[in-house]
Amino acid sequence: MAIQLGRCIVVVSLLVLISPLCMGGGYLFPQFYDKSCPKAKEIVQSIVAQAVAKEARMAASLLRLHFHDCFVKGCDASVLLDSSMNIISEKGSVPNKNSLRGFEVIDEIKAALERACPQTVSCADIVTLAARDSTVLAGGPYWEVPLGRRDSLGASISGSNRMIPAPNDTLPTIITKFKLQHLDLVDLVALSGGHTIGLSRCTSFRQRLYNQTGNGLADNTLEESFAAKLRWGCPRSGGDNNLFPLDKVSPTKFDNLYYKNILYGTGLLSSDQILFTKSPDTMALVKLYAENNEIFLEHFAKSMVKMGNISPLTGYEGQVRKNCSL
């Protein structure tokens, strides 16, 4: 339901109360395509469902694609652009190279939407909807997605290298990167719960196994038997692209076991485990979510809406691309 208050719109759903979404030149609201492309959400959901049925990991990949888009220049599909005469693609950045996935699914969705409603639905909205649908398919919460984003005209590889939280960042650095996006500690810990699904490469956590602080020793917050299993598949050298589940218990199910793993020292990434070891405030949230799956899912949904509203282009800003990579 959308309620107009002056120049703002308040969107209300059973799960999430969305603050007024007044953006430069236009609004974001769930019904944005109801008249111009009434089957848009159905088309996105159908293709995402097919992709996840084919490969369960794709749910996590599409969710991560949304994160990596929004943290650079806002949620504007800049991450999808290929390099050209005037653009250096974000796909080549340190966080994204040989790592970010799901582009072919977005392309398939875009092609279907162009057949149904030419040059109407933005790539930015496709990425945002696909992240929500992926979460639901993995057993996570549903939330209404405010729509009406437009696509960027450019990309920022420097922003991608600088703004996206890294697995070995310190907690103060991660907090700062979230604050720059107007996301608070609750958002940080709740959105980190996206790591309840998906896989990570050896290169993202090798430092924890062999040389966490430069002294040649493993991270002492990593549970020893878990560390031994990881070393078996992630040697000191080689095996960079060997994959490991971010949640060792239920890697394809969206639940709160990610937080329970952290309590027992079996969080995979340093950026996961430090939520419990480096701050009493984030530790309290980890404990809360580990104890109460419903609260985690509720907070995750709210934080996803909040993240999805980072600096969108609206109205006559940007463009609606015919091809998401061009």
The tokens describing 23, both together, are 């953006």
Q: Is 170 annotated as a binding residue?
A: no
Q: Consult the annotation and say whether 90 binds a ligand.
A: yes
The residues near 54 (Cβ < 8 Å, ≥ 6 apart) are: none
Residue 76 assigned ligand-binding role: yes
34 is in an annotated binding site: no
Sequence-distant (6+) residues with CB within 8 A of 126 are 44, 77, 106, 109, 110, 113, 324
Question: Helix 293-308 vs helix 185-192: angle between axes, to the nearest 10 degrees?
Answer: 110
Gap between the Cα atoms of 88 and 65, Å rounded: 18
Q: Is 165 annotated as a binding residue?
A: yes
Question: Given 66, 68, 182, 299, which residue is catalytic?
Answer: 68
CA angle 69, 276, 291 (to 5 degrees): 95
CB atoms within 10 A of CB 247: 28
Burial of 103 (0-12, 13-18, 19+ CB in 10 A): middle
Is 252 annotated to bind a ligand? Reply is no
107 labelled binding-site residue: no
* Residue 214 labeled ligand binder: no
Cα distance between residue 60 and residue 148, in whole Å: 24
78 is in an annotated binding site: yes
> Could you confirm whether 68 is annotated as catalytic?
yes
The annotation status of 219 as a binding-site residue, yes or no, is no
Nearest alpha carbon to residue 79 among 99, 55, 51: 99
Output the DSSP codes for 93-129: STTTTTT---HHHHHHHHHHHHHHSTTTS-HHHHHHH
Distance CA 326, CA 321 (A): 7
**Cα gap 320→29, rounded to integer Å:** 17
According to the annotation, is 196 in a ligand binding site? yes
Please tell me the distance from the alpha carbon of residue 7 to that of residue 247, in angstroms, as a whole number: 43
Nearest to 256 by CA among 284, 292, 301: 292
Known binding-site positions = 69, 72, 74, 76, 78, 90, 165, 195-196, 247, 255
Known binding-site positions for Ca(2+) = 69, 72, 74, 76, 78, 90, 196, 247, 255
Known binding-site positions for substrate = 165
Known binding-site positions for heme b = 195
Residues acting as catalytic residues: 68
